[in-house]
């Protein structure tokens, strides 16, 4: 007895899915991409086979991630256009060096590098201090920084404003799920929502940023985060990396972070 397998989605179906995910009508996409609505309709329904250049052009107009652009090309019968290297591969030496320089230069403030699923790729020394006391099972590779932040065996018990920080992280992840349709991120979002804690960000409705107020070695630190990505990536791995850097919101927190780095706190 053979088991039927679901047919692979066509390139037209995938393009329509991305268009709908971006909340665009065919007319919207036709206008932004300078492609006729008639031809776009034919592509989506399979009546017209798009060229490699057309797939890449529509992918650019739809802001499709590089990994999924390769999937669109494969569905259209073409070879992938974007390579995917490991950070340890020789062609990635300049990228790896830049990441290490950013991490080292950011000490004594915490900084981590994450991939598209928020899995930890690298961290500086200050981030290691921040993660002291976290349960070992949360640090086993691939360690997920969102799980590590919100899990009761992670940083959650030490985050003073957990409700606001949790609301911030879950809202950010929800927007990412909506933008990418990534099933791994959707599963992660469901998991994190089940963790104990309230989702109330009203405490900072008039603030410039939502800080993370966290206790470390008996000191309360207040920090806000920024995200850095590579501006013109042509490699799948590079396009999916993000550097999360934390900065103190006040001089007291800055002083504590410096003291922690020097072993004086």
Q: What is the pLDDT of residues 235-248, one digit of tens each?
A: 999 999 999 999 99
**DSSP strand pairing (111-114 vs 120-123):** antiparallel
Q: What is the pLDDT of residues 139-160, one digit of tens each?
A: 999 999 999 999 999 999 999 9
Long-range CB contacts for residues 3-10, cutoff 8 Å, separation at least 24: 8/75, 9/75, 10/46, 10/75
For residues 144 and 14, give the distance between their C-alpha atoms in angstroms, rounded to a whole number.
Answer: 29
The secondary element (H helix, E strand) that includes residue 225 is strand 219-228
For residues 63 and 82, give the distance between their C-alpha atoms in angstroms, rounded to a whole number.
Answer: 15
**Mean per-residue pLDDT for 202-214?**
87
For residues 134 and 6, give the distance between their C-alpha atoms in angstroms, rounded to a whole number.
Answer: 42
For residues 20 and 94, give the distance between their C-alpha atoms in angstroms, rounded to a whole number.
Answer: 37
pLDDT at 39 (0 to 100): 97
Q: What is the pLDDT of residues 40-94, one digit of tens each?
A: 999 999 999 999 999 999 999 999 999 999 999 999 999 999 999 999 999 999 9
Q: How is residue 25 written in tokens? A: 């009508």
For residues 44 and 13, give the distance between their C-alpha atoms in angstroms, rounded to a whole number.
Answer: 6
């Amino acid at each position: 007895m053979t088991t039927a397998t679901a047919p692979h989605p066509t390139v037209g179906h995938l393009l329509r899915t991305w268009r709908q995910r971006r909340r665009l009508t065919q007319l919207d996409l036709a206008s932004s991409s300078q492609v006729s609505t008639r031809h776009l309709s034919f592509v989506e329904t399979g009546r017209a086979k798009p060229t490699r250049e057309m797939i890449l052009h529509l992918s650019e107009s739809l802001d499709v991630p590089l990994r999924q652009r390769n999937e669109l090309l494969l569905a259209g019968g073409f070879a992938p256009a974007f390579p995917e290297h490991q950070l340890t591969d020789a062609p990635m030496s300049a990228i790896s060096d830049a990441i290490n320089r950013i991490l080292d230069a950011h000490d004594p403030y915490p900084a981590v590098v994450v991939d598209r699923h928020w899995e930890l790729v690298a961290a500086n020394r200050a981030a290691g201090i921040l993660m002291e006391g976290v349960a070992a099972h949360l640090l086993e590779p691939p360690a997920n920084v969102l799980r590590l932040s919100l899990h009761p065996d992670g940083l959650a018990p030490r985050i003073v404003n957990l409700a606001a920080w949790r609301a911030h992280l879950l809202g950010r992840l929800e927007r990412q799920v909506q933008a990418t349709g990534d099933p791994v991120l959707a599963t992660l979002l469901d998991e994190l929502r089940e963790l104990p804690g309230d989702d109330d960000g009203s405490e900072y409705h008039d603030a410039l940023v939502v800080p993370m107020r966290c206790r470390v070695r008996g000191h309360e630190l207040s920090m806000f985060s920024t995200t850095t990505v590579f501006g013109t990536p042509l490699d799948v791995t590079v396009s999916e990396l993000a550097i999360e850097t934390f900065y103190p919101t006040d001089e007291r927190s800055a002083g504590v972070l410096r003291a922690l780095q020097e072993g004086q706190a």
